[in-house]
């Protein structure tokens, strides 16, 4: 199956660099598929905005979010 390569870090703008640095600090590396989303900055911002909005809403307990992320990663065959 064809894969879309990650955007070259040399092409990141300042906001992307900050986002990926934060992810690397928190989780050890930028989260997949964010480097792919970076090909379209509007999509990258939208995905980040969705997660920021969910976190700010307080509707989902942080522990539940962690469990859901692990479950989805397992279904997708991703390392988490």
What's the pLDDT tens digit per position in 28-56? 999 888 999 999 999 999 999 998 998 89
Name, in order, each residue with C-beta under 8 angstroms of 37's C-beta and a sequence gap of 6 or more: 43, 44, 47
Q: Which domain holds residue 55?
A: 38-80
Domain assignment present for 4: no
Q: Among 2-6, 8-12, 16-20, which is the least confidently predicted range?
A: 2-6
Residue 13 lies in a domain: no
27 in a structural domain = no
- Looking at the structure of the chain, the number of domains it has is 1
For residue 6, which of 31, 42, 29, 35 has the smallest C-alpha distance?
35
Token duo for residue 7: 């955007």
Specify the pTM: 0.72
Length of the chain: 80
């Amino acid at each position: 199956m064809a894969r879309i390569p990650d955007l070259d870090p040399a092409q990141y703008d300042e906001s992307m660099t900050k986002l990926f640095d934060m992810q690397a600090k928190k989780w050890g590396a930028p989260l997949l598929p964010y480097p792919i989303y970076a090909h379209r900055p509007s999509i990258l911002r939208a995905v980040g905005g969705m997660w920021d909005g969910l976190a700010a809403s307080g509707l989902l307990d942080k522990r539940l979010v962690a469990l859901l992320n692990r479950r989805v990663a397992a279904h997708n065959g991703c390392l988490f």
